[in-house]
Amino acid sequence: MSAPVLTVGNLTKRFGGFVALQNVDVHVNAGERLGLIGPNGSGKTTLINCISGALFNDEGSIVFEGRDITRMPAHQRARLGVARSFQIPKPFRSMSVLENLRVPLEYAAWSRAEHRHITDEAMAVLEQMGLKERADENSAGLTQVDMRKLELARALAAKPRLLVSDEAMAGLSSSEVDEILEILLALNRRGVAVIMIEHIMRAVMRFSERVVVLDAGQKIAEGTPAEIVRNPQVERAYLGE
Amino acid sequence: MKLRVNAFWLCAVAIVAGGLVLTEVLHNDYYFNALYVILQGTLMAVAWNILGGFTGYVNFGSAGFFAVGAYTSIFLDKYFGHTLPLPVLIAAAAAVCALIGLGVGYLSLRLKGVYFSIATLAMAIVFATLISNWRYMGGARGAYILTPETFLWFHSYIQMLFMVMLLLTLGAVAISRNLNFSRLGRGLAAIRDDEVAAECAGVPTLRLKLISTTLMGALMGVAGAPYPFFVTFVDPASAFSLFVAVNAIAMPMIGGTAHWIGPVIGALLLGSAQQVITVTVSSEINVLLVGVMLVGFVTLAPQGIVGLAQKYFRRRPR
Amino acid sequence: MLSVDLLSNALVAGVLLGGFYAAVSIGLAISFGQLDIVNIAHPAFVIVGSYIAWILNSRFGFDPVLIGVLATPVFFFVGVVMYRIYYAAFERTGQESLSGLAFFFGVMFILEVGLMLVYGVDYRLVSADYIGKSFHIGWVGVPLRMLVPFTAALVMTGGIWLYLSRTFMGRAILAVAQDPLALQLMGADPVRIKQFAFGLAIATTSIAGSLLIIIGPVEPSIGRDYIGRVFAIVVLGGMGSISGMFVAAMILGVVESVVSTFAGPSWAPAVAFGVLLLTLALRPSGLFGRR
């Protein structure tokens, strides 16, 4: 059993007096599909903000592929292979869809990309995501679904070894959810570990090999989807007493 | 892409040649005065746009950089007894203002949006106050600068200053253009559009912002360095003038901030209009004109002239 | 060489000045502190208020404070119009940051230069019975030209503070920046509320301007010195806190007065900006800020 690609140890994050995360331990194995669930406000987004580097944790450590990245700025983590998509899409609004992908290719993936063929690489990702026809359209004018796809496409363009997908499917129709799911599964087949945060249970359960449950900043359960579904603590967290 | 690169440099060479021809053909120094002012405005606009248009951080303190450049010139000239040649003074001004730019870049770590802009204004006023209280530079009363005797093969000193400013401005435009189409420029655009997303996409936002502010500072300092020799009398009020600051913002916004040619167009148009109005109507109207044009363009055509042109060409049937 | 005499005079002058600064800043505390509208032209409006006071005072001999109060409806109307333009051009399209800033920068410029063109750069003053007189408490002199504005300022800021905390409209203004959706659900239109608030903010400049010209002579460019002061006060006080703004105004008034007395008045403009930079660097949420 190889070492985990990501190890979050004893992580604590406070906002003033409010403790958003407390002593959270999570690990992700190489090429694994991890689901991260929990009621609203349980700290899921805070956790991935700490993993991606958008926030710095107060206590604890984050180790990625054997390197301690706890104090590393976000852009360096991206270069090492940690990518994330945002819950509310944040496209580069002055740029076309294609240009949006140039940025991660030219920065996060710079050491892994073909410098002379950036456009071709970008087009390849767009093709994967089903956005090829929109390559030259301005990113600000996309539909909701396409914006979510662009968010993911941008994360993929960074050639990550760990991808965190933050509620990429929220508000999408059933067939659209399946589309995104297929894309993430295909990515995973290529060896990329994926942490999926979702509220759409059938997606999480179908996708994940293992699930971690957070509630009020603490990990309350961990196991296979089947185990989690049967866990009374999880039920209580979602449905109350 | 190769063809476009050649076209630009061809134009640049042609402009330099044209400038030289003008110095032989035109004998009225007034024209060179006017051209100098227009070029100075262009250089400031191009510099401002590197941080403002390309990176999305609005600098209200342009006059501060300009004035520090001018006063660096004055200080070194005085300290070394008028022996230092102009290029050395320009380089020194660039270095000093680059350092200030670096400081301003670190400011952007803590301050975003309007707070950053107000901080730049604050910085300019702090410098203005410091220099107003510095007796060696003439304090609030100002300093006189002697026009040097030598002006190479030109017919007058202002002709030489004109050529110097022409070369400096072309250099700045070339840098700006290069930046616009480079990987670095695309990183800056990402910062402008969404700094957090850019950082997570691997863009080293702090480093790029520092490059942006330092470059802007240096270029503005360069614009200010020859100024004392142009006006021969400098006081804090004129050097730190709000007019310089507003022009530096208005010209790129009128021309269009996303493209390197925007500030050039805005500066040439507005600068020429200002020169004409000074002569025909009054110089105070100019000052009103900048404000009106800025407000007008910002509300009605926020993408500037370049944006209007792009929209027009997109609507025409292919 | 700390003379008690000098220091106590500086402190008293500072408090009086601080009260006045609160009057100048309260409009910005509403437009910038509550509505997040970066009205950098706010001091320029104050100067316009000063000029109106001067014109009517020198023409008809009216009391400046009275003029300031009577002119508020006009300023309110101008504020409403400005907000409508700002809203249509920027807020609705979501382009507030760069363009909105540039917009107000341009407006400030137009106002300042407009005054300069019409009235020139000479200093203007008003005359009233209380200007030039002062009374003494021990060795401390209290000039009436500072005391009258201080009192008027207290009344105005106190009145506005009460309005904002006690009336429905006032509380709606406080709420509109934090939760426009909730307001809509309550049947109040956020745009109309912001419009009213901005009008109110500009209306205060009418009174502030008349107070300013009582304190001292005015010419078009002195508005620029006030940019630093008002933003420093609003930021130091904490965005969204009127009482914080008042405290900050006092602090700035006293610091400026003491620096002016002991280091010379030419350092005064730097004080405000220095305070602003320090606040932004060390505690950007200000003293009582909500963020």
Strand partners, A222: A212
DSSP 8-state assignment for residue C289: -
For residue C195, pLDDT over 70 is answered with: yes
Give the per-residue pLDDT at B82: 81
Q: Is A80 on the interface with B (CB under 8 A)?
A: no
What are the tens digits of pLDDT across the range A183-227?
899 889 988 999 999 888 888 888 999 999 999 889 998 999 888
Span C175-201, average pLDDT: 82
Into how many domains does chain B fold?
1
C-alpha distances out from residue A27 to A9, A63, A234, Å: 8, 9, 19
Mutate to test the interface with A, among B186, B192, B200 (most CBs of A within 10 A): B200
As a whole number of angstroms, the distance between CA B257 and CA B278 comes to 27
In a domain, B209, yes or no: yes
Would you state the pLDDT for residue C2?
Answer: 65
A214 bridge partner residues: A219
Looking at the DSSP bridge assignments, the partners of residue A13 are: A21
**Per-residue pLDDT band at C291 (split at 50, 70, 90):** very low
Inform me whether the C-beta atom of residue C235 falls under 8 Å from chain B C-beta atoms: yes
Listed by start position, the domains of chain A span 1-81+161-241, 91-159
* pLDDT confidence band for B243 (50 / 70 / 90): confident
Query: Is the model's pLDDT at A240 over the cut of 70?
Result: no
Q: Are A55 and A46 in contact (CB under 8 A)?
A: yes
Above 70 in pLDDT, residue B253?
Answer: yes
For residue C219, which residues of chain B lie inside 8 Å, CB to CB? Answer: none
Give C-chain residues touching B295 at CB under 8 angstroms: 103, 106-107, 110
Mean pLDDT along residues B200-215: 95
> What is the spatial distance between Cα B257 and Cα B215, in angstroms, rounded to a whole number?
17
C contact test, residue of B110, B129, B289 with most C CBs within 10 A:
B129
pLDDT band, very low/low/confident/very high, at C279 (cuts 50, 70, 90): confident
Instruction: Specify the pLDDT at position A62.
Output: 94
Asked if residue A1 has pLDDT above 50, the reply is no
ipTM at complex level: 0.89
Question: Which residues from chain B sit within 8 angstroms of residue A104, using beta carbons?
Answer: 201-202
Nearest to B194 among A52, A83, A92 (CB): A92
Q: Quick check: C206 pLDDT over 90?
A: yes
- Mean pLDDT comparison of A11-20, C77-86, C127-136, highest-scoring range: C77-86
CA–CA dist A6, A30 (Å, integer): 8
Given a cut of 70, whether residue C181 has pLDDT beyond it is yes
Task: Compute φ and ψ for B38, nearest 5 degrees.
Answer: -65, -45
CA distance A125 to A113: 12
**B193, closest residue in chain A (CA to CA):** A92
Residue B316 located in a structural domain: no
Distance CA C29, CA C10 (A): 26
pLDDT at C33: 84
The pTM of this model reads: 0.88
Residue B109: inside a domain: yes
Supply the pLDDT for residue B67: 93
What's the mean per-residue pLDDT of chain A? 89
CB-CB under 8 Å, C113 with B288: yes
- Asked if residue B312 belongs to a domain, the reply is no
Q: Chain C within 8 Å of B301 (Cβ-Cβ)?
A: no
Tell if the CB–CB gap between B110 and C281 is shorter than 8 Å. yes
More confident residue, B315 or A177: A177
Does residue B317 carry a pLDDT above 70?
A: no
pLDDT for B245 beyond 90? no
pLDDT averaged over every residue in chain C: 86
Contacts of A80 in chain B (CB under 8 A): none
Taking the domain A1-81+161-241, which CATH number applies?
3.40.50.300
> What mean pLDDT is predicted for residues B209-234?
94
The minimum CA-CA distance between A79 and chain B, rounded to whole Å, is: 6
Q: Per the structure block, which two tokens stand in for C174?
A: 């406080």
The mean pLDDT value of chain B amounts to 88
pLDDT at B3: 61
Q: C238: phi > 0 → left, psi -120 to 50 → alpha, else beta; which?
A: left
Question: Does residue B280 lie in a domain region?
Answer: no
In this model, does residue B318 exceed pLDDT 50? Answer: no
H or E element that contains C252 = helix C242-263
Mean pLDDT throughout A152-164?
Answer: 92
Q: Does A45 lie at the interface with B, CB-CB under 8 angstroms?
A: no
Q: Do B298 and C97 lie within an 8 Å CB cutoff? A: no
Would you state the pLDDT for residue B268?
95
**Which pLDDT does position A50 carry in this prediction?**
93
In a domain, B233, yes or no: yes
Instruction: Kindly state the tokens that stand for C35.
Output: 């509505």
B215 in a domain, yes or no?
A: yes
Residues of chain C with pLDDT > 70, as a percent, come to 96
Report how far residue C69's alpha carbon sits from residue B244's, in angstroms, rounded to the nearest whole number.
Answer: 36
**Residue B223 belongs to what domain range?**
2-243
- Identify the burial level of A217 via C-beta atoms within 10 angstroms of its C-beta, where 0-12 means exposed, 13-18 middle and 19 or more buried: buried
d(CA C69, CA B255): 42
Tell if the CB–CB gap between B115 and C277 is shorter than 8 Å: no
Question: What pLDDT sits at residue B5?
Answer: 66
Give the pLDDT confidence score for residue A32 in this predicted structure. 93
Minimum mean pLDDT among C84-88, C92-96, C178-182, C192-196: which range? C92-96
Give domain status of residue B259, yes or no.
no
Whether A128 and A121 have beta carbons less than 8 Å apart is answered as no
Residues 6+ apart with CB under 8 A from B96: B68, B69, B72, B221
How sure is the predictor about A160, in pLDDT bands with cuts at 50, 70 and 90?
very high
pLDDT reported for residue B1? 53
Residues B135-165 have pLDDT tens digits of 877 777 888 887 777 777 778 888 889 999 9
